[in-house]
């Protein structure tokens, strides 16, 4: 993938460098998800680079327990650049302007794959999918002097499928997935021609959605690889896809089921 160019708002780049320094001191494993990861991935093709530079920042952080979460959170606050949000335990505000959500996953999750933070008002979040997509992230240079791990597009699809199922009112996740499928072939044509040529023979080339169908099947196969060994999450994703009888979503499901 071509490294993304000039996609970060300067204040976001500054904030990420400040966070990266603290995370490095704690020896943390973390990666970008959400809108920024989406924009970074899409920016590998100049035609799909976001017109507006997002200030919507989500960072997945692998943690062992709640105490470790608060240690990191307060270390960031102690820099003087971050302040706590009074509304949400996982949210920090950088220099009064940029909101960033820290999304803890890993051993901190309970047996139901949930994050529970109880020090203040109880917060419970479904963290399914984060451990699964984590081994497949890439490290990309996203600004001068700043290289960070970024969730793959296929990983983002998994996370967005789960998020949309948890909260059906979040229609933006569905919109993002459908946009990914629309542009995926142009982003990955070389890889598809070299590694997934059989899929191109499955669908009717005269179909107006031929390329999105091919892309969806490829995404489904890649999701299968990501989810290998995680049977419960695989079945969860299949159930979500089955709920939406749209051709491209069924193609993703077929890819998940391919041998």
CATH of domain 10-151: 3.30.460
3-state secondary structure of 206: coil
Query: For the chain, which residues make up each domain, given as ranges?
Result: 10-151, 166-257
Beta strands in 95-205 (DSSP E): 98-105, 114-117, 123-126, 138-143, 146-150
Integer CA distances (angstroms), 103 to 80, 88, 99, in order: 21, 12, 13
Entry pTM:
0.94
What pLDDT does residue 2 have? 42
Nearest Cα neighbor of 219 from 244, 174, 249 is: 249
Question: Tell me: the pLDDT tens digits for 122-137?
Answer: 789 999 999 999 999 9
Q: How far apart are CA 164 and CA 146, in angstroms?
A: 31
pLDDT (mean) for 226-255: 97
Question: Tell me: the pLDDT tens digits for 170-227?
Answer: 899 999 999 999 999 999 999 999 999 999 999 999 999 999 999 999 999 999 999 9
- Under the banding of pLDDT at 50, 70 and 90, the label for residue 23 is very high
Question: Tell me: the pLDDT tens digits for 97-115?
Answer: 899 999 999 999 999 999 9
Question: Tell me: the pLDDT tens digits for 77-91?
Answer: 999 999 999 889 999
Question: Tell me: the pLDDT tens digits for 43-70?
Answer: 877 777 665 667 889 999 999 999 999 9
- Under the banding of pLDDT at 50, 70 and 90, the label for residue 3 is very low
């Amino acid at each position: 993938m071509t490294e993304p160019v000039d996609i970060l708002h300067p204040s976001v780049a500054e904030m990420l460098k400040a966070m990266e320094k603290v995370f490095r001191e704690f020896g943390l494993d973390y990666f970008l998800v959400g809108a920024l990861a989406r924009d970074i991935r899409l920016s590998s093709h100049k035609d799909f680079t976001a017109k507006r530079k997002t200030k919507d920042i989500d960072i997945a952080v692998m943690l062992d327990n709640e105490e470790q979460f608060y240690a990191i959170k307060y270390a960031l606050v102690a820099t003087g650049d971050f302040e706590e949000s009074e509304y949400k335990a996982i949210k920090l505000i950088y220099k009064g302007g940029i909101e960033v959500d820290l999304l803890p996953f890993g051993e901190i999750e309970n047996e139901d794959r949930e994050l529970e933070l109880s020090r203040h008002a109880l917060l419970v979040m479904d963290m399914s999918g984060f451990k699964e997509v984590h081994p497949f992230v890439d490290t990309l240079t996203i600004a001068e002097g700043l290289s960070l791990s970024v969730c793959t597009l296929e990983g983002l699809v998994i996370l967005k499928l789960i998020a949309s199922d948890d909260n059906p009112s979040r229609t933006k996740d569905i919109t993002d997935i459908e946009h990914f499928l629309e542009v995926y072939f142009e982003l990955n044509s070389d890889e598809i021609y070299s590694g997934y040529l059989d899929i191109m023979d499955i669908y009717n080339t005269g179909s107006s959605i031929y390329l999105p169908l091919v892309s969806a099947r490829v995404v489904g196969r890649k999701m299968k690889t990501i989810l290998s060994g995680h049977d419960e999450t695989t079945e969860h994703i299949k159930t979500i896809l089955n709920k939406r009888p749209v051709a491209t979503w069924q193609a993703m499901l077929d890819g998940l089921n391919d041998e």
